[in-house]
Structure 1
Amino acid sequence: MMAHSPNGLMIRKLESIFSLCEEERQALARLPVQVTTFKADQDVVRIGDRPSQSCLLLEGFTCVYKLTAEGKRQIVAFHVPGDIPDLQSLHLKVMDNSVATVSACTLGFIPHEALHDICNRYPRITAALWRETLVDASIFREWMTGIGRREAYHRMAHLLCELRVRLTMVGLVKDQTFDLPITQTELADAIGASTVHVNRVLQELRADGLIRSKGTQVSILDWERLKAVGDFDPLYLHLRQDGNA
């Protein structure tokens, strides 16, 4: 069951990176959202698609990915509730990547026509959505730095730090514990390592007393040490808060 209304979750996420006034919050609350459920491992939009709506993630996790000619997958982003994974389709009419569910998901679809209308009427909402896409680009730059220059152990620590902060901003972390329904294969496709290496790295993080995991639940046991291991600075998330609350 959703802890937030579809529009309320979107507003909460946007307000983590942009200050909205009450009139703007009310306008966003009136946006039409068609809620649909998806199973795990389903494409939401594919490369080459020309969507007429953007999807708001309400429950679960999605990923953005691309495939090589040989069919090898690189995940270039994970999205958490409150995110709009294909917001760029509002202005880039042809998708240059695919968005897929990682877990069972609930998605809310917002027509582009409605998004264009609210942007025309509320310039600061345009700025908020623009900032959202700029933050996505900032996260991508940080991921590229990690894949190019950090060892797998440090890349995994960094990813866990990032997800902990992003989930905290939408109220999905309790007592340093959060749900992470991402398989080791998907983690491998995200950090550019083999599944065997990912398994070994997670074991090392547990053995070093940094995390505890049970099923899909992950608990951060030593936040400051995990940040140090992951070379994690939340600056690139451009939050209105420091991300440590």
Structure 2
Amino acid sequence: MSDALGSDQSPPALLIRKLASTAQLSDRDRGAIGMLPFAVLTFPGRTSIVHEGDAPKQCCLILDGWAYRCRTLANGQRQIFAFYVPGDMPDIESLHLHVMDQGLVAIAQTTVAFVAHKDMRALIQSNTNVAMALWRDTLIDATRCRERVISLGRRQAVGRMAHLFCEMYVRLRTVALADDLRYLLPLTQAELADALGLSSVHANRSLQELRKMGLVTLHRRELIIQDWSGLATTAEFDPSYLHLI
């Protein structure tokens, strides 16, 4: 599998690559992003990066690993809303929504770069095009959430899982973390279930059904898509909602 995020894996370079996948950036825009001061921290797997109820003073950028946003009910049941991979800024809305209504959790060991709100505000106030690119990225995050609602409300279990596998392949491919129809999938069965609105038993059955259909295999956390056309058909997957350019 390709290891390439490009030779420069600094936080600004990764953010530039991610934003450039959905928006046009000029040299001036890239230079302005390159001046952002980041502080890098690594979180162990299954630990909180941002807690529900926090009032953060900084935004975070995923550098390595995966994270998810979730809400946990009083009875301990959890709903995972979204997954985030390198290049994603999961909590940029904290610039305007001052209390987090959901948590952000590292899945495996995850490296995160933090940038202070004051520095993000200075960037977007001085560079309209970067502000628009970040706004577009936030809107695309919302389209992914809407697509997840469609899955939870209308797709059957096998279709939900197939759709998630298709989406993550396309997203990881944009940051060179997937190729040859395969990628690392660090999710536990329980995390898959909580993202898809299923019990762990039902999630396992759905995965076994995709295997029996000859669409995917999962071995040592590596998902291999054996039949992209078949998987996309099962998922009713149309990547247009990801708005890649």
The answer as to whether partners of 2:37 and 2:115 remain within 8 angstroms in 1 is yes
| RMSD between superposed Cα atoms in Å | 1.2
1:20 equivalent in structure 2? 25
Looking at structure 2, the residues matched to 142 and 97 of structure 1 have their Cα atoms a distance apart, in angstroms, of 19
The answer as to whether partners of 1:2 and 1:58 remain within 8 angstroms in 2 is no
User: 1:87-98 counterparts in 2 under 5 A?
Assistant: 87-98=92-103
TM-fit CA distance, 1:185: 0.4
Looking at structure 2, the residues matched to 216 and 28 of structure 1 have their Cα atoms a distance apart, in angstroms, of 34
Looking at structure 1, the residues matched to 93 and 12 of structure 2 have their Cα atoms a distance apart, in angstroms, of 19
Instruction: Say if 2:96 is the partner of 1:86.
Output: no
The answer as to whether partners of 1:56 and 1:82 remain within 8 angstroms in 2 is yes
The answer as to whether partners of 1:138 and 1:236 remain within 8 angstroms in 2 is yes
Instruction: Say if 2:64 is the partner of 1:59.
Output: yes
- Output one character per residue of 1:44-82: Cα deviation in whole Å (capped at 9) or x when no partner: 111211101011001111000001222210000011110
Looking at structure 1, the residues matched to 214 and 118 of structure 2 have their Cα atoms a distance apart, in angstroms, of 50
- Determine which of 68, 73, 78 is the counterpart of 1:68: 73
Looking at structure 2, the residues matched to 90 and 221 of structure 1 have their Cα atoms a distance apart, in angstroms, of 42
Letter of the aligned partner of 1:30 in structure 2? M
Instruction: Say if 2:135 is the partner of 1:137.
Output: no
Looking at structure 2, the residues matched to 32 and 172 of structure 1 have their Cα atoms a distance apart, in angstroms, of 25
- 1:84 is paired with a residue of what secondary structure? coil
1:243 equivalent in structure 2? none
- Determine which of 29, 35, 39 is the counterpart of 2:34: 29
2:46 equivalent in structure 1? 41
Looking at structure 2, the residues matched to 71 and 206 of structure 1 have their Cα atoms a distance apart, in angstroms, of 31
- 1:66 is paired with a residue of what secondary structure? strand
Instruction: Say if 2:220 is the partner of 1:215.
Output: yes
Looking at structure 1, the residues matched to 108 and 15 of structure 2 have their Cα atoms a distance apart, in angstroms, of 19
Looking at structure 2, the residues matched to 17 and 230 of structure 1 have their Cα atoms a distance apart, in angstroms, of 23
TM-score (structure 2 length as normaliser): 0.95
Looking at structure 2, the residues matched to 164 and 108 of structure 1 have their Cα atoms a distance apart, in angstroms, of 23
2:235 equivalent in structure 1? 230
Looking at structure 2, the residues matched to 21 and 73 of structure 1 have their Cα atoms a distance apart, in angstroms, of 41
- Gapped runs of 5+ residues in structure 1? 241-245
The answer as to whether partners of 1:2 and 1:59 remain within 8 angstroms in 2 is no
Between the two proteins, the alignment pairs up a number of residues equal to: 240
Q: Identify if the C-alpha distance between structure 1 residues 180 and 119 changes in structure 2 by more than 3 Å, giving closer, same or farther.
A: same
Looking at structure 1, the residues matched to 35 and 219 of structure 2 have their Cα atoms a distance apart, in angstroms, of 39
Looking at structure 2, the residues matched to 6 and 116 of structure 1 have their Cα atoms a distance apart, in angstroms, of 17
The answer as to whether partners of 2:43 and 2:109 remain within 8 angstroms in 1 is yes
TM-score (structure 1 length as normaliser): 0.95
Identity %: 45
TM-fit CA distance, 1:145: 0.6
TM-fit CA distance, 1:206: 1.3
TM-fit CA distance, 1:113: 0.7
- Determine which of 109, 114, 118 is the counterpart of 2:119: 114
Q: Identify if the C-alpha distance between structure 1 residues 163 and 198 changes in structure 2 by more than 3 Å, giving closer, same or farther.
A: same
- Gapped runs of 5+ residues in structure 2? none
Farther off after superposition, 34-43 or 65-74 = 65-74
The answer as to whether partners of 2:4 and 2:177 remain within 8 angstroms in 1 is no
- Determine which of 193, 203, 209 is the counterpart of 1:204: 209
